[in-house]
Structure 1
Amino acid sequence: MIVRTLAECEQSNRKITTETWDSTRMLLKDDKMGFSFHITTIYANTETHIHYQNHLESVYCMSGNGEIETIADGKIYKIEPGTLYILDKHDEHLLRGGTEEMKLACVFNPPLNGKEVHDESGVYPLEAETVV
């Protein structure tokens, strides 16, 4: 059995921070569960270009507000507590933080190693340096 708290993970190298978001990676590839699980904060009034070409992601909004815009068709979807969005087709999108930061629970398949950040195309590499 694996037991971790968000607080202890936030105080470790499992927390990755960028200009527009931070992500605490609570479950990673090395845990051998077949997926990874993260608690991510999207900062208010920010925009992040994302295009997971190597991963599928499911995202559940726990608090805050924002929106997601799909690049292919320009559709905009409101995100608020209770919203689940699923990037089942490697959807290229813009994720925007609203007037308050959003707390999201995220699941990735295949699982992340833990050090991934978006490259210039919004992609996470298939393999990144592993968190120890």
Structure 2
Amino acid sequence: MIVRTLAECEQTDRKVHSKTGTWDSTRLLLKDDNMGFSFHITTIYAGTETHIHYQNHLESVYCMSGNGEIETIADGKIYKIEPGTLYILDKHDEHLLRGGSEDMKMACVFNPPLNGKEVHDESGVYPLEAETV
């Protein structure tokens, strides 16, 4: 059995900050935990925009607090995000994620699982393999 708290993980290298200063993510469950997925609590900062295109991963995201929106690049559709919203990037959807008037706290699941140190490259992609924590 594995037991971790968000508070303790936030005090370790499991808390990762974006290079652009638009988000931080605490990775509670990672590839080395051998569960077949990773689980993170991510904060999207208010008033920011992040270009994301997970070519190597699928992601499901549940908004716990805050507000914002997601825009799909392929068709320009914009979806409101608020507490209780789940969005699923099941087709490697390229998108823009925008923080609204307050920070969004999100619960995120990735498949395949992340190693821990991933941050988006210039194309919005996480590498398939990255440094472990």
Structure 1 position 54, deviation (Å): 0.1
Query: Match of 1:61, SS?
Result: strand
Distance (Å, rounded) in 2 between the aligned partners of 1:89 and 1:13: 30
Structure 1 position 7, deviation (Å): 0.1
List runs of 5+ in structure 2 lacking aligned partners. Answer: none
TM-score (norm 1): 0.98
Partner of residue 99, structure 2: 97
Structure 1 position 126, deviation (Å): 0.2
**Identical amino acids, percent of aligned pairs:** 92
How many aligned positions are there?
A: 130
Structure 1 runs (4+) greater than 6 angstroms displaced: none
Query: Match of 1:117, SS?
Result: coil
Deviation track 1:4-45 (CA, whole Å, cap 9, x = no partner) reads 0000000000000x5000000000000000000000000000
Distance (Å, rounded) in 2 between the aligned partners of 1:8 and 1:32: 20
Distance (Å, rounded) in 2 between the aligned partners of 1:19 and 1:61: 20
Deviation track 1:70-119 (CA, whole Å, cap 9, x = no partner) reads 00000000000000000000000000000000000000000000000000
Task: State the superposition RMSD in angstroms.
Answer: 0.6
List runs of 5+ in structure 1 lacking aligned partners. Answer: none
Distance (Å, rounded) in 2 between the aligned partners of 1:86 and 1:108: 10
Partner of residue 112, structure 2: 110
Among 46, 60, 63, the residue aligned to 1:61: 63
